Amino acid sequence: MVDDPRERLVLALDVDDLVVALRLARRLRPWFSVAKVGLELFGAAGPETVSALTDEGYRVFLDLKLHDIPTTVSRATRVLGGLGVAFTTVHTQGGGAMVGAAVSGMAEGAAAAGAPTPCVLGVTVLTSDTDAAPETLASRSRLAAEAGCGGIVCAAPDLPITRRAAPGLLTVVPGIRPAGTSTDDQARASTPGAAIAAGADLLVIGRAVTAAEDPEAMAAAVAGEVASSMASAGG
């Protein structure tokens, strides 16, 4: 991974208004390189969110956690693959055929649009799940690798299991909360430094920064913690 902390940080824009999302994206651009668009924002503004955030200089992480029959997922991803996103998610609970359909569909859609092939991330177990069985985490991580995913999404406490089960895949960790902030509905949250120390490649952080009294100061503190943890790991 790149040694710049900014390249490790994903800004989750969990809002229902593209104007608000762009205002946050512009304010926090110095500390984040990737912007995550989830169901709420995509439902509010649709594909325009991708082009608008790309124009702001972000790589876009489209987090829709696709989970349907393989044919439906294949058709949907052919459309989504042409939007120019850098990352997208599919839930591994849907099985190998479905995850494979997402990987091939995204590649086909990107190729048809002349866009870079997105990195498909297999979601293992949601961070709101308080009972993530180790065997489930391991089997879903292996499934993601076998189906052609470029990475997985997992909670920080799951990294020792998922990294052993699927070595070499990009690890994306949501549920990042600086010490002293609310965990909201994230049952298995982690601080930025602890997640980096555990082996996370990308950290997803949203409300802890976007809803902070001083978002810029919180973003700078998170980036500083990540930089410190990266330096310690490198040493």
Active site residues: 65
Three-state secondary structure string covering 158-220: HHHHHHHHCCCCEEEECCECCCCCCCCCCCCCECHHHHHHHCCCEEEECHHHHCCCCHHHHHH
Q: 96 φ, ψ to 5°?
A: -60, -40
For the four alpha carbons of 13, 219, 177 and 181, in that order, the dihedral sign comes to negative
Structure tokens at 50: 């991708």
Q: How far is Cα 220 from Cα 223, in angstroms, rounded to an integer?
A: 5
